[in-house]
Amino acid sequence: MRKFRLLIAPTLVSIIGLSLLLAGTAWADLPSSTPAAGETPGRLAAPMVAADGTYPPVTPTPTPTPTPTPTPPVGPVLYLTFDDGPNPTWTPRILEVLGRYNARATFFLIGSNIDAYPSVVAETLARGHSIGLHSYTHTDLTRLTRAGVNSELARAEAALARATGRTSTCARPPYGSVNSTVRDVIASRGLAMWLWNVDPRDWARPGVSAIVANVRSYAYPGAVVLFHDGGGDRSQTLAALEILLPEFAARGYAFAALPCLAP
Ligand SMILES: [Zn+2]
């Protein structure tokens, strides 16, 4: 019996230790808050919320032409972002629910979709939302040459200009896939790169409750949250927004757009 106890004690210690290690790993893998200089938003230090409950200033990845920080609303804010649109079915429905809660968001658009559905982009702008670039063909930019990355961004910029006459100062590489070339080209075009801090994986359609639970658990004041309005059936995303928007609004949150549109 004594021997048995002696065995159990270290086993328990190991299990607890392993659990802590796994918990630590999971936490370390979580996206974070505002990036430090030279780093991408997404996978850094712990969220920073001041003792008085205010959120940190929004600072995109530094580029040669710094993007002005937005005037923050009073109280905590979430930056909701939607990738892979515009989509003629889902974008208008997402715009409608955002409008109902006076939420502003940022749409990272695929250039070829802009060319296909320019009126959806115009409507997005008319409703006060911000626009970022998400390449022209939604390819993994790290597989391209420098010229190829430049082309993907230039074509997306041209599509946005054709559709709206506007210029975006923000880029988000498809899949969040980044290397030094991608980083360099984005910076050299005067674009700020925005990844995200919270990813509920809505693109994989994990179920409305899973999307809601993820955002509920990981969102914090100042976080950039990743959703999708294109790339397939987005009914789960829409249903999750119907739950999350009133819930976070009741907690005092505002929903603001990133500063992506050149004047
Ligand atoms: Zn995408």
Q: Over 70: is that where the pLDDT of 45 sits?
A: no
The confidence band for 36, taking pLDDT boundaries of 50, 70 and 90, is very low
Provide φ and ψ at 130, rounded to 5°.
-105, 160
Q: Over 80: is that where the pLDDT of 52 sits?
A: no
Amino acid identity for residue 26 in this structure: A
Q: How far apart are the CA of 243 and the centre of ligand 1, in A?
A: 23
Render pLDDT for 181-207 as a digit per residue (tens, 0 to 9).
Answer: 999 999 999 999 999 999 999 999 999
Mean pLDDT of the chain: 82
Q: How far apart are the CA of 233 and the centre of ligand 1, in A?
A: 14
Give the rounded percent of residues in the chain with a pLDDT score beyond 70.
72
pLDDT at 263: 81
Q: Give the contacts of 82 (CB within 8 A, at least 6 positions apart).
A: 91, 94, 105, 106, 107, 108, 227, 228, 229
Q: Catalogue the active-site residues.
A: 83, 228
pTM of the model: 0.75
Q: How far apart are the CA of 172 and the centre of ligand 1, in A?
A: 8
Render pLDDT for 70-125 as a digit per residue (tens, 0 to 9).
Answer: 555 568 999 999 999 999 999 999 999 999 999 999 999 999 999 999 999 999 99
